[in-house]
Structures are given as structure tokens and as C-alpha cells.
Structure 1
């Protein structure tokens, strides 16, 4: 166990370092400035030392207008901190992961100003701490501002020493109103002016609330700002530190590569800063919105972008960050039922590509061409969106075996997906077949094509991803049905679909047998990674699969060669790890992406990516260190020989937390915590030797099994108990 000092020293290596002001703010995509957030309020900082700008946004600040691309998260407002004495000063900022704060130091001649920015983990207030060193006071002015335009109404005012601004989207053409306010107060100074004195800390606070938090959001924000003092901030700081300490203690990796470790921890930091509002999950670009026109409406894109950010949190033992995920999917179910019945004449749910919170359709096209093909919606030829949404629910279920979650959230949604595919699938020649389901987006919204040749993609048969998603959904339903003792009468049908769904199509390319995108229709595409998404995240293939299938999978990854891809980062590396691809290649290419496609704030960014890229490093590294596909734990299954590694409390399917270490090609310890008391099955870490299992009571170990023999061993567990595994020779 590392000391607190050692842990702080190690985490400091992963901080985001800025030696010049950000260049990519404002932007319609990913920001490049220092980031803070509490899972609801997000702040990104830009500007030169003499004018620091804080851009303040919130996961629930949406303009709820249906017509694409008008329905989107929008910018609320911000603060400008003017420090004229810092003109031409040096620039240095740290985005500190352990403390969840940004610390900046600006030097100029005889003046030095330090500014710390943080958002308390449990309260929607932005806190700015300022101090200076030098021979004279440093005058500062602060401007509070609100974003205007885009059919919004704005107001500003003052109450005693508090300035406030508000922005409202409440027009009659909106599905629901969104209104928000920022109330700012300078402690120890005037309303908007401060005189920094050497050695004395000064504060600026800004409360941020919306009508989705509390009905009287403006009064509440002003009132809370008025009550803020140093004692209150000290309490918030203590709670903030405790929250983040607990967060970082949940799991750990050490793999001898500071770059990959940095982005493993950094990706979790970004997700923790933007994904904790259970009613409003983050859109494509998190809660760092700096424009009213985010790309692709900044919405929830359901053909992988929305799902991807959370793919790493399940195995990293941060399931709590996924709690907001289900909310908009559940809220959209009435729309999905209506679309399935009206447009396809089937039961269940049929989701378009883009949705928003509270049942908001964000993918309604203004183009008349789309009305001909998709009733004015942007389904883009795809039938698989709802099934794709189910993958995250299945991940959460398998990794936690939380039966309350299964019964209340996952199972009802999966039933609707099953209803759809039971109606939509065709049973022909002893197999189930999918027709008219595009593997890639078909631009049905455009009217630029002279004929309908481009619409042939709408006629595609058996897209490979949909085949895998269907397998996953029905296998998951069978598992949950048994665990919950529900729908016995439907299990035969579900089993029949799993057993008779069409095989994955293959073809010859570059002298290799590889996966084909569809059985009939598009065979291949030189961008994107849809040729391997049936492996990850759909989970159709793993190290326990048929060796011939594994060879096809690895050859497909070789031919695909999409280590650098506009949309592929969240999938290619983890898919490669899942099937045992060359680990040296995986680590080399993953490291290269971190170095070549990242910002100092630890965002990994490609042209089509946002927070989706937060899963790329965690899910790939976790899968290389430990796999639990099909309920079998495999330690260091895709890890280079001769490279030491260790991990603590990675989550395995079956609700197990596993810790282990590899040193000199030997597994030297295995600790397993059983949350739900399920049978634990593990590939023997010590081939040709028997495995001893001991219960762990603090520092006392009690042997419960002496000889577990074979390549794969299993033992029963009890909920809440810890176990240590070792080879018989060490006992």
C-alpha cells in the first residue's frame, strides 16, 4: 500500500500541463483548455494571464427545439478576470487530477499571481482562489457575462454585493423550458473589483443553477452566493477532497508507461467531471460547451458516440459514472414505440440516430428529401440504434449483477428491443435474417444525388454489427430472465434466435479471410471500424471463441489497420486486446495516439470524437490486464512478455473485484473480492500447478480449497468475502 505522499507524487505525474494559453476556445467540438467540473457544472479556462476567461456550462442547459441541428446543449455564460499587471506575463497552469482543480501561476517582473479554480464535488459553485507575491497590491476586476442570442432571453442584475445573470430558453416552440442563472460574488472586495494584497488569499464564487435543479433557481443562486464565506469553503474543500480520494481509491493500474497511465487516469477524470447528473447525462462534448452550435447538435448520437464514453468505467470499477446513461433512453421509449409501429409496422422500439433529454427528438431533418425515405427523421438507414444502446446496460449488469438495476432499468428496455427484433427478423432456411438495415450511415437527408443509386445501402442484408447486437440482447435477456424468474414462456423463442441468427459474413481481402460488413451490400470501407465492433463493444468474440474465428478477427484487424481513425479510437484497441492481437503493436499504437491526438487537458481528440474517446485507453488497458468475457477471468491475457504490470480492483464479469501483479512473467498474487457470492471461474494463473484458494480476514488467511486442478478452475464464493489465490508450491 502506497503512502499518501507516494500516491500524491505519482498522481502529480499525470497532471495536464499548460505553458501557453489554449488556442481552441470557443469551439464547436472538444476544448483544449484546463478543465474542472463536478459532473453537472463544467468550466473550461482560456485567455492570457491578464484576462482569464471562465466558460461555464451545465449538463442540463439544453435548448429543447426539435429541428436538427437546433436542439442542443448551449453555453450559459462565464466570467472574465482582468489583471492588467500581468500583461506579457509568463503562463503556467496545471490541471491537477488528484485534487480536481486547476492551479495557475503567472509571473511578470516583480509580480506573481496564483489562481486556483475548482468546482466542489457536491455543490454547483465555481470557486476561484487568488493570491499574489511582490512589493505592491495587484488590482483585479471581474466581469460576469451571459451568452446571448439563439432565441434566448437574458437578464442581469445586482443584489447587494452579488452580480447575477440569467439565460432562458422558454419559447412556445420548445418541448420544455430551460432557464439558468449564475450569481457571482467577490469576497473581500467590491462587487466586481479586488485589490490583491501580498500574502492574503482572496476569493470569487459563482453559483450556477437551472430550473431543472430548483424552481426558484435565480433566487437560490443569489442566496447561496450571499452565504458563502471562508468557513463554508473550507467545509466544501474537505468534502471535495474526500469525494475525489474515494474516487481514485476505487481502482489503480501500474504498467511501467507514464504516458498510457496518464491517459488512463485522465480519461476517468474527464468522465467524473461531466457524468454525475443522473437526469442529464453529458452530450458529445461533455459539459464544456463554448458555443450554441456544437457539432452534430452535441446530442446523444446512438450509433456508438453516446454509448462509447462509458465503456471503460465498468471494468475500472467506476460504475457510478454510468448512472446517468439510461435516463434519456428510458425517456425516449414512447417515441421509439410510436416510430416502430407507424414507420415499420412492428412492436418494440425504433430509435433514430440522435436524441436528447426528456424525450427530445434532435434528429428531425428540414430536408424534403428525407421525408420521402424516413418520414423526416434521421434514422440514416439503420435499425440497430436501440440494440446498440442495450450494450452498456448489459455491461453494467454483468459487471455488477445488480438485480435491482436489472429489474427496474435494463430488463424493461431489453424487452422492448427484443419485441422489435422478434417482429423484424425473417426466419428463412433455418436461420434468422436481417433486411434493410444499413451498417454505415446512409445520407437519406440529402437531396444532392441525381438518382437513387446511393440508396442501395438501404437494401443491405445481415450487417455484421446488428447480428452481434441481436446475439448480445437475447443472451442478456435469457440470463436476466433466469436470475429474475421472469418471462419463462418467452425463453424458447429467445434461445431459438440466439442459436439460429445468421453467422458473421466473411470474404477474401489482401489474401486473408476477414469479416465482411454485410452479407449482401457494402463489403468493406477504408475508414471507420464497423468491421470489428461485433468484437468490441458487442462482445461476440473473445479468447474462448473458436480458434478459426479468432484468426479471422486478428486478420481483419491487420487488414483494417485503423489505429488512427476519425471514429475508431474507442473500439479498435479494445477489440484487438479482446482477441489476443500482438500486445506490443497495441501498446505502441495506443501510445502513439495519446501523444499525437491529444490536448494538454488529457482529451484524446479525433475529428469525429468527443468524450467518446475517454473509453479508448481504459477499456483497452483493462482488457489487456484482465478479461472476463463469458464469465471466465483471464489474467494478463494480452500483455507483452517480460513487461511487469499490476492492477488493483479492476471489475470482472460476475461482480468480482480483482487485483493482481505480473513480475518477471510470473503472476505473483491474485486477490478477489466477491460482491454477490457467485461462482468464480478463472484460467489457472500457474499452468501445470494446482491452485489454492484462501479466505482473507484482514491479514489472516484461511485455506478453503487445497487442490483446484486444470487449465480453468472454479470455486464458490460468498457475498462480501475476499479471497487469495496462489500455487500449491507456495503454501
Structure 2
């Protein structure tokens, strides 16, 4: 850090690293603080009544001073070096961070700044959008900035409140809450092509796998993975008071939220929530190393449901699975049915991709085919999706819309009747929950796009939400939900500019074509990077970069203008192609393909 005095008077100040006082710490721990001239360091260690012993250390050094007090003359600059580490990074984190800070020289600050600027330059160049809307563009890039700042450590991704914890015990322990909160901040990173920042999401979940398998066996007597609602890094169940207590916190016991031995709020779907993000990253990248990483978890979750479901009267039924938090004995929870369909299809596709478990695919396909239909109800001559077939039969549509996004089960190509039922649910909430529900903004707005809502309405409501609900730092005002809405604007805009679910490139599916817009290198299912532009009321081009060499299925955006003869410029070589409403292009890894109407391409050449 560089602190420059641009005034005309000497500044006098003091800079200290402090540990919490014993009266506010509230946890059994060991703390230390040392000062040695211009260097000071602190540490805090938790090794009593914990699952995972933890120690963290910070060091601070001010140059050209001999104590924590400094005198900064007019026009002068104070150089401050700081660092932090933990026992997960080095055997002795205190010694390590002190040595690192001691070794820093003033000329190193230039290198640090260069590395910092280079990192952010690479990050911003991953993709971009230009909307001509300063309010939404600011919110879009601010959200990406938040996740770029917070999500870098593979094994310690940001919790509910990001990396900015200012209290000893934040709400929900600042944990990874698995019934959508942990998933939500990452939704926009996939299509925005920030894969490096999306990866840390996975590691606490995978680290919990062994414990989750034990839960399934101990509580249900079946194999597979069963997750609690709250976890931490390194396989920690954050809903417990501690190993000494051996049970969840008393509050949850008193209010009936604990069943089957763990705090799950009677929901069996926590692990299914986890798969939604994994599925998106699988389909968006087809990265074999990543698929290998998450495949055992997805298979383990499906293994739980293979045995938990009951086969009755020609269908698979899910009993006693609450759609909302609480002791609700729901049957065929709609959200679970949607997420389970997503998990099964992902597992089938990734098993084929890896060439594994071919003998299991018929069973998975059978469950997928014979899984119970979504429950419905009639009102005023319209059919709506219901929360569940039996049990808590409320019509909480924002929860149900999660099967549209992030669950991916209802979209433009879905069965028209199912699509209409989902639209009826969304329309019923349009004046209340759909646009203003703070807990489900990250799924409601993208769902509205996938359901084909009017683009002007979506953008107007989104702009209003951002302008009235967001603080300058991008967090919702007076709201406990932390960083979970970081994806809301990014995902909504990207879905409006590019649809790729299920595996088809459809540019500007929900966009007012009178408004010029441009995007570059948004990521699409099938491992494609896509660029395009609207100018003068029409699509100027589609540019595709194929990472994995998969077939590319494209919706022809020019059919509305009667154009079906296209120029396909592949790696500099052009061919003429007659295309219908949709067409397929075989690709090879690294192919760069530019698609235009044939006449437009020829005019460009002239």
C-alpha cells in the first residue's frame, strides 16, 4: 500500500494490527501480537473443540519508521507492506508471513502493481458487453469485480458475505449455504467466461463428500451422498455446535428443523442444488479434468436418490422432502423433481463423455423417464405448477422458477404446455415477487428471460431494482443475503444476449432489436465462445470459437428477414450455405467461424 500526503501539513497517524479482545471473541482460541520496530504481526489459532485445527497470521511493515506511529510530511509517500497466511498454506504461517513481509523492498511495489494490473487486464478481457445503458453496465461490471476480488482460492471460496467479514460471528456463520445461497453468486461467471473464478465453488462441496456419504448411511441406511444445509471448507458441517456437542445447535432442535440427524430443514435437495452449478460448468466447458473432478459427487448424489425414491404405480415418487425450510412432509417436491432431472441428465451425458458406467446408464434413463410429473393446480382457467403433490401446497413461485433457472428444465424448446404453466407462475408474481424478491433475484430475472418475457419489461424492472435496492458496493441495502445477488444482472443480460440451453446457439433471443448492442466471447454450452452485434435493427454477424470441436447447433437469426443463404467463414476460408431456421456446423478444436448473410458478406468484400 502507498499512502501519499497531497496536502500541505504533516500527517500524524498510527497503524496497528489488532486481535479481538477476549470479551468479544466468543470462541476458545489462542491469540498473539508482536511489535518489533517497523514490523508487527498477529496470529489467531483454533485448536480446541474444532473439527479442523486452524491458524491464521498477518504481518504489517511500514517503511522508514521505527514504531507503529508515523509522521508523513507534505508531498511524501508512506510505503506499507502487508501479508497473511494460514496453516493450510505453510507449516508455520507466522514465521512464513513475517519473513515474506521482511523481504519486501520498496522497488518490489512496482512489480506488485504491474502484476495486479496484468491480472485484472486478463480478467476483463475474458468477455465484454456494451449495452448503451450506464446503470446496468455499472451493475454488470461491479458484480464481476466483486467475484474477481473474492473468488480466487480454490479451497476457500467466499461465503455468504464474501471475504469481507467484519464481525466475530456473521449470520449463518458466514458459511456455504447449500439451498441456493452458495450457488447463486457464481451463476453469471459461466456465461461471462470467468471460469477460473467459478472453480472454487466446487471444492468445499467435494471436501464434504465423505462426511455426506456417512450421513446417508447413518441416517437412511442407504449409499450415496446426503448434504446438510450449511458447510464450511475442509469437510466442516457448520450447523453443528462443535464436536464436543455432537449435535446441531439447540435452536434448530427446539424449532423442529433437524431430522435424520442433520440440519437439513427436512429438505433432501441440498446436494441436488450443488449439482446445478456443476452441470453448467460441465456443459459450458466440456473440460475433461473438471468432469473427472465432479463426476464422483454427481454419481454419489444420484446413488442416494436411486434408493430414496419409491417406485409406485409406474412412477418414481419422492416422499417427505420439504420444498421450503421447515418440518413439512412434502411429496414430489417440484424443485427436487426438476433438479433431479438435471442431475440425471448431466450424469448420463458425462458418463458417456468419460466412457464410464455404461451399465448404469439404462437405470438412470429409466428413472429420468419415469420420474413423477410436476404437480399442478388450476386457478381462473389457468394451469400452474404447484410446490408439491401433497404437503405444503403453497404457490411460492420464486422457488418453483428455480427449475427454469438454474435448473435448466424449462426453456424456449420445452413442451409448450409446460412452458405455459411456468409462464403462468411467473406472470402471477409479476407485480410482487418476480421483480422484487430479494432472496431469488438471481434466479427470477434469468427465468423471466428463458420464459420469453418482454425484453423492455425485463430491462426496466432490472434497472429499477438496481437503482433502488443496490448499495454502491453492489450489495442489497439492509439485506442479510451478502454476495448472492452478484449474478443477477450478469446472468440476466447474458441470457438476453445469448441462449445456449439446451445446447443451441441463439443470439438475442429476448432483445429489443431497435437497441444496438454488442457482446464478445460470452461462453455457450458445447464449449463455444460467441460474439455478436445488433446494429440498425438486425444481427450483423455471429462469431464462434470452438474449444472442444463439438457440433455447433445454431438458430438462424436472419430468418425473420427471410435470409437463408449464409456465408460461413471458417479459419479464413468461406463457403456458401443454405440454412433453414436452424443448422448444424461440425467443428474442430480451435476453429474460428464467422457467420453472416451471404449478400452482406459479399458487400463487405466489395
TM norm structure 2:
0.93
What is aligned with 2:245?
none
Distance change in 2, residues 1:267/1:716 (3 Å): same
The answer to whether structure 1 residue 400 and structure 2 residue 276 are counterparts is no
Q: How far apart are 1:276 and its partner, in Å?
A: 0.8
What's the CA shift string for 1:532-580, capped at 9, x where partnerless? 1110110001111122222222221111231111411111000111111
What is aligned with 1:90?
none
2:15 aligned counterpart, secondary structure: strand
What is aligned with 1:489?
359
Match of 2:73 among 197, 204, 214: 197
**Partner Cα distance (1:605, 1:671) in 2:** 39
Q: How far apart are 1:413 and its partner, in Å?
A: 0.9
**Partner Cα distance (2:346, 2:481) in 1:** 29
The answer to whether structure 1 residue 430 and structure 2 residue 430 are counterparts is no
Match of 1:162 among 39, 42, 47: 39
**Partner Cα distance (1:369, 1:594) in 2:** 38
User: Equivalent residues in 2 for 1:47-58 (5 A)?
Assistant: none
- Contact persistence 2:412–2:452 (CA under 8 A): yes
**Partner Cα distance (1:599, 1:371) in 2:** 36
Q: How far apart are 1:440 and its partner, in Å?
A: 0.3
1:517 aligned counterpart, secondary structure: coil
Greater mean deviation of Cα atoms: 303-312 or 225-234: 225-234
User: Equivalent residues in 2 for 1:277-292 (5 A)?
Assistant: 277-292=153-168
Match of 1:623 among 495, 514, 538: 495
What's the CA shift string for 1:347-375, capped at 9, x where partnerless? 21111111111111112323354789625
Q: How far apart are 1:228 and its partner, in Å?
A: 1.8
The answer to whether structure 1 residue 145 and structure 2 residue 23 are counterparts is no
Match of 2:323 among 414, 436, 439: 439
Match of 1:513 among 383, 387, 392: 383
Q: How far apart are 1:275 and its partner, in Å?
A: 0.8
Q: How far apart are 1:283 and its partner, in Å?
A: 0.9
What is aligned with 1:186?
62
The answer to whether structure 1 residue 317 and structure 2 residue 177 are counterparts is no
**Partner Cα distance (1:469, 1:372) in 2:** 22
- Contact persistence 2:7–2:75 (CA under 8 A): no
**Partner Cα distance (1:494, 1:263) in 2:** 41
2:76 aligned counterpart, secondary structure: coil
1:271 aligned counterpart, secondary structure: helix
What is aligned with 2:573?
702
Match of 2:533 among 658, 661, 664: 661
- Contact persistence 2:38–2:61 (CA under 8 A): yes
Match of 1:718 among 585, 588, 594: 588
What is aligned with 2:298?
414
What is aligned with 1:66?
none
The answer to whether structure 1 residue 268 and structure 2 residue 147 are counterparts is no
2:488 aligned counterpart, secondary structure: helix
The answer to whether structure 1 residue 534 and structure 2 residue 403 are counterparts is yes
The answer to whether structure 1 residue 500 and structure 2 residue 370 are counterparts is yes
User: Equivalent residues in 2 for 1:322-721 (5 A)?
Assistant: 322-364=198-240, 365-367=248-250, 368-369=253-254, 374-407=259-292, 409-442=293-326, 455=327, 457-458=328-329, 460-509=330-379, 511-525=381-395, 529-561=398-430, 562=433, 563-605=435-477, 607-687=479-559, 688-695=562-569, 697=571, 701-703=572-574, 705-721=575-591
Q: How far apart are 1:525 and its partner, in Å?
A: 4.3
Q: How far apart are 1:147 and its partner, in Å?
A: 2.2
Q: Which runs of 5+ in 1 are unaligned?
A: 1-126, 443-454
Distance change in 2, residues 1:375/1:493 (3 Å): closer
The answer to whether structure 1 residue 301 and structure 2 residue 172 are counterparts is no
Distance change in 2, residues 1:485/1:693 (3 Å): farther
**Partner Cα distance (1:438, 1:217) in 2:** 44
TM norm structure 1:
0.77
- Contact persistence 1:692–1:706 (CA under 8 A): yes
RMSD of aligned residue pairs (Cα, Å): 1.7
**Partner Cα distance (1:190, 1:593) in 2:** 51
- Contact persistence 1:472–1:539 (CA under 8 A): yes
Higher percent of residues as helix: 2
**Partner Cα distance (2:221, 2:55) in 1:** 39
What's the CA shift string for 1:443-502, capped at 9, x where partnerless? xxxxxxxxxxxx4x22x1111110111111111111111111111111111111111111
**Partner Cα distance (1:479, 1:641) in 2:** 35
- Contact persistence 2:258–2:265 (CA under 8 A): no
**Partner Cα distance (1:691, 1:191) in 2:** 75
- Contact persistence 1:691–1:725 (CA under 8 A): no
Higher percent of residues as strand: 1
Q: Which runs of 5+ in 2 are unaligned?
A: 241-247
Which segments of structure 1 move beyond 4 Å, counting only runs of 4 or more? 368-373
**Partner Cα distance (1:332, 1:403) in 2:** 22
Distance change in 2, residues 1:482/1:194 (3 Å): same
**Partner Cα distance (2:372, 2:107) in 1:** 65
Q: How far apart are 1:176 and its partner, in Å?
A: 1.6
What is aligned with 2:244?
none
Q: How far apart are 1:308 and its partner, in Å?
A: 1.0
**Partner Cα distance (1:392, 1:371) in 2:** 30
**Partner Cα distance (2:480, 2:13) in 1:** 40
**Partner Cα distance (2:233, 2:15) in 1:** 34
**Partner Cα distance (1:504, 1:665) in 2:** 40
- Contact persistence 2:37–2:68 (CA under 8 A): no
What's the CA shift string for 1:179-206, capped at 9, x where partnerless? 1122111112332122222333222222
User: Equivalent residues in 2 for 1:29-178 (5 A)?
Assistant: 127=1, 129-148=2-21, 149-150=25-26, 151-171=28-48, 173-178=49-54
2:387 aligned counterpart, secondary structure: coil
1:291 aligned counterpart, secondary structure: coil
Distance change in 2, residues 1:691/1:190 (3 Å): farther
- Contact persistence 2:386–2:395 (CA under 8 A): no
Q: How far apart are 1:401 and its partner, in Å?
A: 0.4
1:497 aligned counterpart, secondary structure: helix
Distance change in 2, residues 1:375/1:462 (3 Å): closer
What is aligned with 1:225?
101
1:513 aligned counterpart, secondary structure: strand
**Partner Cα distance (1:570, 1:322) in 2:** 16
